[in-house]
Structure 1
C-alpha cells in the first residue's frame, strides 16, 4: 500500500542535517580540491565538487568559515555529490 503523494517524505537519517552553504577544501597528500558543503551534521556532510573531479575515498576536509579540519571518508557518491562521514 502506498502513501498519499501529498504526505511529506519519511526521514530515514539517524542524524538530522542542517542545510548550509560553506566553502571547503578537500586536502590529500597530492592535491587540494575546492568544494561546497551543502548540509552538515555532527557525523558527516554532503559535499559538491565540480563535475569530473576525482576525489579519493579518504581525505581531510577544511571548512573555511568554521576554521576547522576533519578527517573524512566517502560513504556514497552521486555525480558531483559526495556523502562523507567525518571523524
Structure 2
C-alpha cells in the first residue's frame, strides 16, 4: 500500500498498548496500536516478532478482542483488517 494512497476511512491516531493472541500455547506478542478505525488498524511490533496472518488483537483499554487479518507488513508495522470482535479473553490478565 502506497503512503499517498487515498483511504475510504479516516484512521484516528492512537497510542494503545495491545497484545496479539495467537492461540498457539496461549502465546501473545506485545504491540502498540498506532492508528485505528472501525474496520482496521496499524500496529507497531518488534521487528523480530512473528505475527500470524489471522489472530485476536486484545486492546485492554477497549475491553474487547478484535479478530484481525493481516493486510500488509512493513518492517515493524503491520496493517490489519478487523473481521469481528469478541469479549475479553478469559485467560488474559489485562
Q: TM-score of the superposition, structure 1-length normalised?
A: 0.85
Alignment map for 1:1-87 (pairs within 5 Å): 12-30=6-24, 31-87=27-83
Structure 1: which 5+ residue stretches go unaligned?
1-8
- Summarize deviations over 1:37-58 as a string: whole Å, max 9, x none: 0000010000011111110000
CA distance in 1, matches of 2:5, 2:45: 25
Shift of residue 11 of structure 1?
6.1
- Summarize deviations over 1:16-66 as a string: whole Å, max 9, x none: 010000000000111201000000001000001111111000000000111
Runs of 4+ in 1 over 3 A off after TM superposition: none
Distance 1:28 1:15, change over 3 A: same
Structure 2: which 5+ residue stretches go unaligned?
84-94
- Between structure 1 and structure 2, the one with the greater Rg is 1
